[in-house]
Chains A and B, each alone.
Chain A
Amino acid sequence: MMHNLPPKPKRSTFKTVRNILIGVILAGIYIWTFMGIDIDFAKAVDRMTNNYARIIPKLLDPDWSALSDVWAAMVETIYIAFAGSLMAAILAIPLGFLAAQNMTNNRVLTTIGKWILSAIRAFPDIILAILFIVVVGPKPFAGVLAIAIGSTGMLGKLYSEVLESIDTNVVEAMEANGANKLQILVHGILPQITPEFLSYAIYRFEIDVRASTILGIVGAGGIGTLIVFAKMNRNWEEMGLILLMIIVVVTVIDLISTQIRKRLV
């Protein structure tokens, strides 16, 4: 039986070469990864079978007597996150304006602004915390500073994107009216950006609550401090309570913040 097969698809040599190249690079990366990584599965499985009974059931059986301590530490975590986010929300405003193309009519300045913001974002919060502990000592304030700086990177970027997407017709109309720069800012730009700025700041607060929970691991205050103690003392019942506390509080804050943000925009 004769089959009338369709013509073979025409592929440009560029695409073929590109696809082969992508394949080779990917294969190379994975070969490098699996050759390089050194995991002793037998040992790990062996340890897990030994440790399982000492850890997992206890995690699921929280130690309620520690509730007041854990709660106090969680509240401190929220303070850190709040103080840090608010500082960031304000610090990010000038940086956001600097990095926004249509606000700073200067390519060099905009690029510098964008570079600063992405440089900040490249630092994990914990590393910032380590640095600030050296500056102000191992206490919650170091955590606040780490959160503040860390969040500024992301908020500044989001702010600049909001600014770049505003309706410039309004600004033009006001310029035509003879309004000065400050008047344009207050009456033309602020009303457009305020809801979104606030919404992003609250969103970042959500993230910061999560981020603050681990700052204590390096000594920057909050519930992470208890995590370190619970781990050192192998007090897995308390760890279970800490975990539960984080899950509940983070979930509740997420829910509230989502509701507020829905109303804002």
Chain B
Amino acid sequence: MTEKEIKKTSTQSPSVIPLKAKFRVTVIFFIVLAFYLFSSFKTESSITEFIDGIGNMGELFQKFFPPNLSLFQAIWPALADTIQMAIIATTAAGILCIPLSLLAANNVTTNKILYNIVRFLLNILRTIPDLVLAVIFVALFGIGALPGIIALVIFSLGLLAKLISETIEAIDMNPLEAMQASGANTIQTIYYAVVPQVLPQFTSFVLYVFEINIRASVVLGLVGAGGIGQILDQQIKFYEYPNAMGIIIIIFALVVIIEYISTKVREAIV
């Protein structure tokens, strides 16, 4: 082989990644990067400021620490409220989502129009943040646990109905056919053929939503919708940072404990 020929073949050797793909990836990369820089600029995010901020962390530590954990007794009632709100909201959402998820499952609801309407409504429900719902319900019902519970119910209803309708869509349809062929009516068919297939996942999803609701109900108080968040809000407004940090740590412990229990139960079920 002459040198010239070698050179020729080497230019013909294919590149590992096709040129076109390389180009496209590069372009996307730069677009993402540019948008990131732009976003950082717009949100006044800057590393220097963050480093300054970290410097302030020392100050912050002094502000927040030592956290006042002795107020546990004082805030226990509010913490109990928070847990109770999450329990009631999850229970209500768990019951209400049953008809909704049946309507949003295309193997049970064969009427396409009805199915699509329910799906559409559920999607909208899930886009509204729980705190925004809480703001509106606090205005409607006044400060307290009730608006918080309603906000949680509505928000978790959208999520739960979606998760469960997807489970229903994945079930084995054969037993349903058998029930119908033996003269069972719709309610009996659902109860005997759908419920046993969905029940384990249903319980698991309800517990999962309960975890989410605990975390959400913790902060609902920030807008006056009851529970521990309301006390946290006050403490911050009064610059009682050690108290605030104490509350945050207690909230943290609560969330971790409940998530641990719930995860263990869910593992045992499925």
Contacts and interface: CB of A to CB of B under 8 A. Distances in A.
User: Do any beta carbons of A and B sit within 8 angstroms of each other in the complex?
Assistant: yes
Q: Residue among B60, B83, B84, B232 with the most chain A CB within 10 A?
A: B84
The 9 closest A-B pairs by CB, nearest first: A140-B43, A79-B39, A83-B39, A250-B127, A214-B131, A135-B53, A122-B255, A136-B53, A44-B141
Interface stretch (B2-10, B188-196, B214-222): B214-222
Interface in A226-240: 227, 231, 234, 236, 239
Interface string B131-157: 110011001111011100100000000
B interface residue count range (under 10 / 10 to 19 / 20 to 34 / 35 or more): 35 or more
Interface in B213-270: 215-216, 218-219, 222-223, 232, 236, 241, 244, 248, 251-252, 255-256, 259
Contacts of A231: 135, 139, 223
B145 A210 contact: no
14 contacts: A56-B140, A82-B36, A118-B259, A123-B248, A124-B215, A124-B216, A126-B219, A135-B56, A135-B60, A136-B50, A140-B42, A141-B49, A236-B139, A246-B127
Contacts, number: 171
Interface in A33-71: 33-34, 36-41, 43-44, 47-48, 51-52, 55-56, 59
Contacts of A213: 129, 132
Interface in A98-141: 118-119, 122-124, 126-127, 130-132, 134-136, 139-141
Given A59-B136, A140-B44, A127 B219 contact: yes
A185 to B, nearest CB: 16
Contact of B252 (A122, A145, A234): A122
B81 A37 contact: yes
Nearest to A78: B39
A244 to B, nearest CB: 10
A227 B135 contact: yes
B63 A86 contact: no
Nearest to A82: B39
B180 interface: no
A224 B135 CA distance: 11
Contacts of B56: 134-136
B132 A139 contact: no
B39 A126 contact: no
Nearest to A80: B43
B107 to A, nearest CB: 22
A79 B43 contact: yes
Contacts of B81: 36-38
A44 B219 contact: no
B156 to A, nearest CB: 14
A214 B129 contact: yes
Interface of B: 32, 35-36, 38-40, 42-46, 49-50, 52-54, 56-57, 60, 63-64, 80-81, 83-85, 87-88, 91, 123-124, 127-132, 135-136, 139-142, 144-146, 149, 215-216, 218-219, 222-223, 232, 236, 241, 244, 248, 251-252, 255-256, 259
A interface residue count range (under 10 / 10 to 19 / 20 to 34 / 35 or more): 35 or more
Nearest to B253: A122
A56 B144 CA distance: 19
A130 B45 contact: no
B136 A55 contact: yes
Nearest to A54: B139
A243 B128 contact: yes
A243 B137 CA distance: 14
Contacts of B84: 32-33, 36-37
B128 A135 contact: no
Given A79-B39, A124-B219, A145-B50, A247 B85 contact: no
A144 B43 contact: yes
Contact of A33 (B40, B43, B87, B128): B87
A263 to B, nearest CB: 12
